């Protein structure tokens, strides 16, 4: 299986390529894409080669061909349906984000422990956790976004897995414990920011300009 870095780079390429296409280009050179994505040209060529995308020598690569290959890699034929656990600030921000729809990802339902929130109206239905199994099973859901407070994250995570969830995007600042047939990816906003702060300070110290 390919490394997660490879997979991540593909999404970076896709972002730049859709942009370049919008700007009016039909072809790219590896150098051009390198400038856009800050990956080296030779690495890009290697990645495209792994995707079995052929370029024309001296002619560059056809953008649509690359985009199709990337989408095929992610299996973007069918629409992916997922659920959301936690309707706090982050949860709300997520369901209001239109980008998921654009990429054929649909959040079909949300869960929250708080009955007051269950009663409020959102763009998607909000259920109590007890409803989780029913929905996961009926709609054959594999993936969940976990956006609950830290103190309940592990417990909600366990419930999700119990219901059949096999992939989790976790926003809670917790290192979840899961069986190894479950895939977890963490988005830790504080950590991300702390890293930016750290590396910014480092650049000031060691950077070429200072």
Enumerate binding residues for DNA (CB under 7 A).
3, 5-6, 28-31, 39-43, 45-46, 48-49, 53-61
Query: Residue 186, class by beta-carbon neighbours within 10 Å (0-12 exposed, 13-18 middle, 19+ buried)?
Result: middle
Contacts to its own copies from residues 113-172, by CB under 8 A: 142-143, 145, 166-169
Strands 80-85 and 126-127, sheet pairing: unpaired
Contact 33, 17 (CB under 8 A): yes
Sign of the torsion formed by the C-alpha atoms of 95, 80, 167 and 115: positive
Contact 166, 142 (CB under 8 A): yes
Quick one: what does residue 90 bind among its own copies, DNA, none, with the CB cut-off 5 to 8 Å set by partner type?
Answer: its own copies
Phi, psi (degrees; rounded to nearest 5) at 108: -90, -20
**Neighbouring C-alpha atoms within 13 Å toward the C-beta of 63:** 18
Q: Which of 24-32, 57-65, 91-99, 127-135 is the region at the interface with its own copies (rule: CB under 8 A)?
A: 91-99
How far apart are CB 59 and its own copies at their closest, in Å? 24
Question: What is the number of other CB atoms lying within 10 angstroms of the CB of residue 170?
Answer: 22
Would you count residue 40 as binding its own copies (CB under 8 A)? no
Quick one: what does residue 16 bind among DNA, its own copies, none, with the CB cut-off 5 to 8 Å set by partner type?
Answer: its own copies
Helix (H) or strand (E) holding 160: helix 150-163
Would you count residue 43 as binding its own copies (CB under 8 A)? no
Would you count residue 206 as binding its own copies (CB under 8 A)? yes
Number of helices followed by number of strands (H, E) in the chain? 10, 8
Quick one: what does residue 204 bind among DNA, its own copies, none, with the CB cut-off 5 to 8 Å set by partner type?
Answer: its own copies
How far apart are CB 130 and its own copies at their closest, in Å? 24
Quick one: what does residue 24 bind among its own copies, DNA, none, with the CB cut-off 5 to 8 Å set by partner type?
Answer: none
Sole binder of its own copies in the list 21, 26, 37, 126 (CB under 8 A): 37
Q: How many residues bind its own copies (CB under 8 A)?
A: 68
Quick one: what does residue 48 bind among DNA, its own copies, none, with the CB cut-off 5 to 8 Å set by partner type?
Answer: DNA
């Amino acid at each position: 299986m390919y490394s997660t870095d490879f997979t991540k780079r593909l999404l970076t390429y896709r972002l730049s390529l859709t942009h370049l296409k919008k700007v009016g280009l039909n072809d790219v050179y590896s150098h051009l894409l390198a400038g856009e994505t800050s990956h080296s040209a030779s690495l890009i060529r290697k990645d495209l080669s792994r995707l079995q995308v052929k370029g024309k020598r001296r002619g560059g690569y056809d953008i649509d061909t690359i985009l199709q290959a990337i989408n095929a890699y992610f299996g973007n034929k069918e629409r992916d349906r997922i659920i959301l656990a936690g309707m706090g600030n982050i949860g709300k921000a997520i369901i209001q984000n239109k980008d998921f729809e654009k990429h054929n990802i649909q959040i079909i339902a949300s869960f929250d422990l708080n009955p007051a929130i269950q009663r409020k109206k959102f763009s998607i239905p909000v259920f109590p956790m007890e409803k989780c199994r029913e929905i996961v099973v009926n709609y054959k859901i594999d993936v969940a976004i976990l956006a609950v407070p830290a103190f309940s994250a592990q417990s909600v995570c366990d419930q999700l897995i119990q219901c059949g969830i096999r992939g989790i995007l976790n926003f809670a600042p917790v290192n979840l414990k899961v069986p190894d047939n479950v895939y977890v990816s963490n988005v830790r906003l504080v950590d991300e920011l702390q890293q930016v702060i750290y590396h910014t300070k480092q650049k000031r110290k060691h950077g070429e300009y200072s």
